Amino acid sequence: MHQPPLSHLTDADPAVAELIEAEATRQHDKVRLIASENYVSPAVLEATGSVLTNKYSEGYPGKRYYEGQQVVDPIEELAGERARTLFGVPHANVQPYSGSPANLAVHLAFMEPGDTFLSLELAHGGHLTHGSPVSITGKWLRPVHYGVGRTTGRVDMDRVRDLARKERPKVIFCGGTAIPRTIDFPAFAEIARETGAVLVADIAHIAGLVAGGAHPSPAGHADVITTTTHKTLRGPRGAMILTTEEHATAIDKAIFPGLQGGPHNHTTAAIAVALNEAARPEFRTYAHQVVANAKALAAALTDRGFDLVSGGTDNHLILVDLTNKDIAGKPAAKALDLAGIELNFNTVPFDPRKPWSPSGIRLGTAAITTRGLTEEHMTSIAEWIDRAVASAEDGPALDAIAGEIQDLLKGFPMPGWAPVR
């Protein structure tokens, strides 16, 4: 059953309630390895589903365009204060609806159409909003991309410096969506200072690791930090922009009125709750366990002959090139899903295949760490992945793996929901 219960929803709309119950069962019964997913606490769930969803609050605390903000203003101020304290930054905007609008606000704040910016290529681990040709950021601006080395799978900082000197970008982005290695924020900062660019660190994937001390922080190096509030941070589906005082006004104006109207107050409250949880000692333990699990899973996969981009991981994320397994990423991901292992197919650097049918898969260990799994379980997960990939068209074999996974997960409770005994 859910915590809090869905009794009113069950009475009012049993069809939707049944589907939500099915999703909860699915989340409980599967090893969830999608790097951008996690489980939130019951407290975050309660805040997200609160009466704050009834309130409209266009503007900023003390400067709203609607009355009745006596409660909402302190909630947003509390979320901002907790973000500033947790990440050690002078200013925090907690209003972005998600990571993409947060990144769009950066473009709006610092660039005009046609301006040049530097970012990691999407196929090498970047993000759509970092200048993909299919994104508005690639259509209206002029992105120049750096990549990773063909043999190392790591960003070549000398190449980044050369490109920055040549192109003189307005903005340099570091970070992305499929980077298994530590981001060298000091090196990026040095290049940005040398070339007069604004340095933006997109830490959407690693924010929880940064907060928990399991990854170096961009604070003090990057002028602007964008992040989602879910993923490793274990908050609701939202985002934040953290800045120096110098850039606070430009970012705030870019969010409102530049891109958004009223913030989602229920999400703001849930962000505040998640940030409070992230400041506790047990969150630090969780963050370090996420990395320990990823390293153990990477080693176990390597032992089974899987080809890992960059040879391993420093964070929560593992990127696997399946070329040597004679299977593409998409059929592998679908077979793994049937086997009770949830992840996504993903492009790998220098991938000869198309993005909708790439060579790789992407894994992350945040959600299984929240469930309580540790290094000792990573060997079993690697074995299940290996068996499923080798038996991609064998339905009974995949069903057998799914059953073994369900047996394991019965001993690891899911926050916010439990099966009815």
Catalytic, 237? Answer: yes
Catalytic position from the list 46, 56, 182, 394: 56
pLDDT at 134: 94
Catalytic position from the list 84, 237, 304, 387: 237
Catalytic, 231? Answer: yes
* Predicted TM-score of the model (pTM): 0.96
| Vertex 367: Cα angle to 24 and 379 (nearest 5) | 115
| Residue 67 annotated in ligand binding | no
| Residue 122 annotated in ligand binding | yes
Contact 132, 138 (CB under 8 A): yes
Instruction: For the chain, give every domain's residue range.
Output: 47-278, 290-409
Catalytic, 65? Answer: no
Give the mean pLDDT of 344-372: 97
pLDDT at 85: 98
Query: CA 36, 39, 44, 49: dihedral to nearest 10 degrees?
Result: 90
Give the mean pLDDT of 181-200: 98
Name the average pLDDT for the chain: 97
Contact 316, 359 (CB under 8 A): no
User: Is the fold of 47-278 the same as that of 290-409?
Assistant: no
Catalytic, 55? Answer: no
Report residue 258 CA to chain centroid gap.
24
Catalytic, 56? Answer: yes
Q: d(Cα 292, Cα 278) in Å, to the nearest integer?
A: 18
The architecture CATH gives domain 47-278: 3-Layer(aba) Sandwich (3.40)
| Residue 21 annotated in ligand binding | no
Axis-axis angle for helices 375-390, 281-303 (nearest 10): 40
Strands of 101-259 (E only): list them. Answer: 116-120, 142-146, 171-175, 198-202, 224-228, 239-243
Catalytic position from the list 32, 170, 181, 231: 231
Catalytic position from the list 228, 267, 268, 370: 228
Residue 221 pLDDT level (bands cut at 50, 70, 90): very high
Residue 323 belongs to what H/E stretch? none
Contact 226, 207 (CB under 8 A): no
Q: Dump pLDDT digits (tens) for 50-96.
A: 999 999 999 999 999 999 999 999 999 999 999 999 999 999 999 99
pLDDT at 1: 77
| CB neighbour class for 94 (10 Å; exposed up to 12, middle 13-18, buried from 19) | buried
Q: Dump pLDDT digits (tens) for 97-121.
A: 999 999 999 999 999 999 999 999 9
Inform me whether the pLDDT recorded for 185 exceeds 70.
yes
Residue 93 belongs to what H/E stretch? strand 91-93
Which of 3.90.1150.10, 3.30.160.100, 1.10.4080.10, 3.90.1330.10 would CATH assign to domain 290-409?
A: 3.90.1150.10
Nearest of 188, 100, 189 to residue 146 by alpha carbon: 188
Catalytic, 228? Answer: yes
Strands of 97-197 (E only): list them. Answer: 116-120, 142-146, 171-175
Q: Dump pLDDT digits (tens) for 241-296.
A: 999 999 999 999 999 999 999 999 999 999 999 999 999 999 999 999 999 999 99
pLDDT at 3: 78
CB neighbours of 73 closer than 8 A, spacing ≥ 6? 57, 61, 62, 64
The label of the residue with tokens 């469930």 reads 371
> What DSSP letter does each residue of 182-202 carry, written as one string?
---HHHHHHHHHHHTPEEEEE
Give the mean pLDDT of 372-380: 98
pLDDT at 4: 76
Residues in the chain: 421
59 C-beta neighbours (distance < 10 Å), count: 17
* Percentage of residues in the chain having pLDDT higher than 70: 100
Residue 2 pLDDT level (bands cut at 50, 70, 90): confident
pLDDT at 421: 67
Q: Is the dihedral of CA 77, 82, 85, 91 positive or negative?
A: negative
Nearest of 172, 170, 287, 177 to residue 228 by alpha carbon: 177
Give the mean pLDDT of 146-164: 96
Report residue 189 CA to chain centroid gap.
22
Strands of 229-359 (E only): list them. Answer: 239-243, 307-308, 317-321, 341-342, 344-346
